Chains A and B, each alone.
Chain A
Amino acid sequence: MMTFFLSSVSLLMATGLAALFSRKGSLIAVAGCILAAILGLIPVLASLFTSAAFTLRIGWNVPFGAFSLEIDPLSAFFLLPVFLLSPLAALYGQAYLQNQGGHAKSWFFWNSLVASMAVLVAARNAVLFLVAWEIMSLCSFFLVVCEHRHAESRRAGWIYLVSTHLGTAFIVALFLLLGNSAHSFDFNEFIRSGIVSSPAATLLFFLSVVGFGTKAGFVPFHVWLPEAHPAAPSHVSALMSGVMIKMGIYGLVRTLTFFNAYPFSWAAVLIAVGALSGILGVLFAIAQHDVKRLLAYHSVENIGIITLGLGTGLLGTSLQLPFVAVIGFAGGLLHVLNHAVFKSLLFLGAGAVALRAGPRDMDRLGGLLKRMPRTGIAFFIGAAAIAGVPPLNGFVSELLIFYAGFDGIVAGSVPVVAATVAAVAALGLIGGLAVACFTKVFGIVFLGEPRSREAEQAHEADALMTVPMLVLASLCGIIALASPLILRVFKGILPGLTHLSAAECSFRLDRAAHTLEGFLAAAAAVIVMATALVWARRRLLSGRSQTVVVTWDCGYVKPSASMQYTSSSFAQPLVDLFGSILRTHKHLEAPAGHFPSIGSMRTHTADIFRRLLFDPLFAAVQHALIMGHFLQHGRIHLYVLYIALTLLILLAVKLQ
């Protein structure tokens, strides 16, 4: 089985290299990516369905390193989005980049990114993990600055590079501490060394939350997401948001398996982080006007939902509530897969819109459903899924987290009730706001009348771009329908996390699966009824005269596109409600006089964490470093003095 995996990774690297040197390289690379994904899915599915673990250990001439790979069900579950989404996004990207003028060399970084993520998830040695982690960060940086001729892209790239490395610093510290206590850098040794909950373990947990949270996008470490995603090409945003940020979640979950027990405070921290990320993510999303920036904030929100699930699971484990533990983790992990599917679908849709209609600013789009029907329908399904509308996949995973949360509320003891009520309330608020936000996106972009000439002249994207979107859209439905089946996959994953036996896990999973089946039956009934209603409407209307008029034609003499809702005006009630958090800047030029001629309003919502936390922090660091600038004066003999003094002091200290 590992042969398949290794050949998949080497195929990715080889075809990636071909993209660097050959002129037809991008085609080779995309074909390689697809083939590698098929090869890679074989061990992944085998491990998921049989709960087996496949291992491979090769010697490696790196200090403390070992080329130690293993595909257990947890790794396989995170490999699933890697191998599922990368070929679809690659197909799309091939067509997308062709319209953007090539960038053939970027496929090297694309394939390396996919390969590094695959190795990262399968790595069982801290050194190998960090190497893969670093390759992943660097490749994604190069993909973000793909359009490096724009200053905006370069700036976004630097922000991403700095934040990812700050996060990596925490992860390095985490593994050094773990390796120090286990006397080995093998993950299995970490588990065997049996780290019990103690202040030291809490430090490890803190390091992993900050380090992996930076990659995943926990508030307040999310600041790179709204910069990097709009700058990157759409298929890259799709892969980064759909798959790469989940590597942060994977790292966190994998770190959790190293511990023997979890204190209650950790669960509280995760629930708080999840609630904060989820609520702030969706709030900032509502206030945005750039589709891709909005989607980036939604990634923060969904990472928050995932973390709420994990936090609830942790809570159940720490207080011996098996059902809360099993279903909480299951909901969080299932949302990883779901978010990967619908978020990449939405990014691909946003890219198709940007390519065909031009502006990324929503207020210059509109009416695209009639011009780009396939993209529109796919985007609609993705939007409904991310907003948690039944019967799509986003609903299923959020339902599981709710289910675990309500079960915790019933449990009775005060801390559990407080934590689960917080989780459930946060999740409810997030869900409601997400619906509002995607109503806004879909309504402004796809419905109504075009607000600009570019939007008016938009036409449907190439088949290579729409087919991956439609595949992803159908996956949104398929995952939801198959969710009782998928839940059974978790019985191989959860024992390591919940410290319950496989039988205990599968008993609880079966209970949840039965509940889901009931919901799915209800959903099926609704679908049948809706289909019947549509059919009845057709039937009633057939044979009668129908007229098609422009949207907003109700009684106005001269309808114009500018009388429609804008993204600012649609979001205004919510933005005003949360004004104290969002701190939106309004530039209002109110119409004056009895016959007003000019009036305009613009809103702009900057990231408060960037403005109030990171900008001052980095300015202070820069200020401190500039004070040391006098040390660098260009006089070589003084540099020699520095070196000599350093060595002398080191020698003196050592001999002390």
Chain B
Amino acid sequence: MAFPMDSLLVCVVLIDLALLAVNRLVTLVRIAALQGVLIGGLSLYVGGADAASILTATASLVLKGIVFPFMLMRAMREASINREVEPYIGLNLSIIFGLALLALSLWLGFKLPLPVAAASTLIVPVALFTILAGLFLIVGRLKALTQIVGYLVLENGIYTFSLAISHQSSWIVELGILLDVFVAVFIMGVITYQINREFDHIDTNQLSDLKD
């Protein structure tokens, strides 16, 4: 049972590393969407065949695989931007950081006590790594769009984490989180467009000039 699941989880980890290594925004959005789809599939695999888990998995698949990429691509087109130029932390350095974060999450994840045994021992470390990778994108990148993708990846991590304790958490909570993410991405997409229209760029470091 563990084999297909673990390979899916390894794919999620590889995607996290890839996210840290690309600078084309289109690619970034695409592989983030791919990660969302993978995790949705994972939830179907773990959750079994009851109506509730199928419902949440489908909703997550549709949103993360179709709706979010579409919205982000549109925001990108409107802001006419396609590349992350000069991130705070260079791409090669990002991968090294990513590997360090992976080591950290493995260490933390194996130590973290869970109320119930997880379906796979890898779930918790992978979830933690995905969360950290998302945070890394938010902290280390310049463009507002990359930061939105970072937020999505963060949410993917949380979703993965919930798989570890899926028997405990209610599907209504999952749906609520999805709705939150949807609204957040929607608003952030709009704001990105507005920032671009107002300032002719979406570099967040220049927004800090707005502080008091």
Contact residues of A with B, CB < 8 Å? 633-638, 640-641, 644, 648, 651-652, 655
Contacts and interface: CB of A to CB of B under 8 A. Distances in A.
Contacts of A644: 132, 135, 139
B147 interface: yes
A634 B208 contact: yes
A640 B7 CA distance: 31
A633 B211 CA distance: 8
A636 B139 CA distance: 8
B124 to A, nearest CB: 11
Given A648-B132, A652-B108, 5 more contacts: A633-B208, A636-B207, A637-B139, A637-B140, A644-B132
B208 A640 contact: no
A652 B106 CA distance: 12
Contacts of B104: 648, 652
B208 A635 contact: yes
A640 B211 contact: no
A295 to B, nearest CB: 43
A150 to B, nearest CB: 28
Nearest to A639: B139
A655 B111 contact: yes
A128 B103 CA distance: 49
Contact of A640 (B111, B139, B205, B207): B139
Nearest to A642: B139
B139 A641 contact: yes
A655 B108 contact: yes
A637 B108 contact: no
Contacts of A641: 135, 139
Q: Shortest 5 CB-CB distances between A and B: which pairs?
A: A634-B211, A655-B111, A634-B208, A641-B139, A644-B135
A636 B138 CA distance: 9
Given A641-B139, A644-B135, A644-B139, A636 B108 contact: no
23 contacts: A633-B208, A633-B211, A634-B210, A634-B212, A635-B208, A636-B204, A636-B207, A636-B208, A637-B138, A637-B140, A637-B141, A637-B147, A637-B205, A638-B139, A640-B135, A640-B138, A641-B139, A644-B132, A644-B135, A644-B139, A651-B108, A651-B112, A652-B108
A636 B144 CA distance: 11
Interface of B: 88, 104, 108, 111-112, 132, 135, 138-141, 147, 204-205, 207-208, 210-212
A89 to B, nearest CB: 43
A651 B108 CA distance: 8
B71 to A, nearest CB: 22
A514 to B, nearest CB: 72
Q: Which of B111, B139, B140, B208 has the largest number of chain A CB atoms within 10 A?
A: B139
Contacts of A652: 104, 108
A645 to B, nearest CB: 9
Nearest to B212: A634
A651 B204 CA distance: 29
A96 B47 CA distance: 75
A651 B212 CA distance: 33
A635 B112 contact: no
Nearest to A647: B135
Contact of A635 (B135, B147, B205): B205
A642 to B, nearest CB: 10
Q: Which of A633, A641, A644, A651 has the largest number of chain B CB atoms within 10 A?
A: A644
A652 B103 CA distance: 13
A644 B137 CA distance: 12
A644 B151 CA distance: 13
A637 B138 CA distance: 6
Contacts of A637: 88, 138-141, 147, 204-205
Q: Which of A634, A635, A637, A641 has the largest number of chain B CB atoms within 10 A?
A: A637
Contacts of B211: 633-634
Contacts of A633: 208, 211
Contacts of A634: 208, 210-212
Contacts of B139: 637-638, 640-641, 644
Nearest to A655: B111
A633 B207 CA distance: 12
Contacts of B147: 637
A655 B135 contact: no
B112 A655 contact: yes
A633 B108 CA distance: 31
Contacts of B205: 635, 637
Contacts of B208: 633-636
Contacts of A655: 108, 111-112
Nearest to B205: A635
B138 to A, nearest CB: 5
Contacts of B135: 640-641, 644
A635 B141 CA distance: 12
Q: Which of B132, B135, B210 has the largest number of chain A CB atoms within 10 A?
A: B135
Nearest to A635: B208
A586 B189 CA distance: 70
A120 B69 CA distance: 60
Contacts of A648: 104, 132
A644 B141 CA distance: 15
A635 B206 CA distance: 9
A295 B34 CA distance: 77
A355 B70 CA distance: 74
Contacts of A635: 205, 208
Contacts of B207: 636
A644 B208 CA distance: 20
A636 to B, nearest CB: 7
A638 B135 CA distance: 11
A633 B138 CA distance: 17
B135 to A, nearest CB: 5
A637 B111 CA distance: 29
Nearest to B105: A648
Nearest to B142: A637
A652 B111 CA distance: 9
